[in-house]
Amino acid sequence: MPARDALSVVFAALADPTRRAILTHLQQGPATAGDVAAPFAVSRSAISQHLKVLEDAGLIERTVTAQWRTCVLRTEPLDEVATWVDSHRRLWDERFDLLDQRLQLLRETPGEAP
């Protein structure tokens, strides 16, 4: 069973290129579901499913006014992803720096094989 914590749900939503393209489109501002669907060669039903996944992940907010359904990008979950990635990037940068230092020491020490 897949993990259902908030970060996992956001990563799962971002795993699909169509959903990432939808988020890129919404960076320009709010758009109707029809506007969101226009550039894609898939059914409106498929776009609706993508929008549902994005909404469940908290990446978009959908509002209904009369017959119009408007989608708005929400960046808070992306901020959480960025924080998680940055913390792991720092950890791995530190580990690679230590490895580089160790390899340099081994190269400089005569008689020891790297």
pLDDT at position 38, please?
A: 92
Contact 63, 77 (CB under 8 A): no
Quick one: tokens of 74?
């929400």
| Residue percentage of the chain with pLDDT more than 90 | 66
What pLDDT, in 10s, does the model give residues 52-98? 999 999 999 999 888 888 999 999 999 999 999 998 898 898 888 89
Q: Is 109 helix (H, G, I), strand (E, B) or coil?
A: coil
Read off the pLDDT of residues 12-49 as tens digits, 9 standing for 90 and up: 999 999 999 999 999 999 999 999 999 999 999 999 99
pTM of the model: 0.77
The residue type found at 9 is V
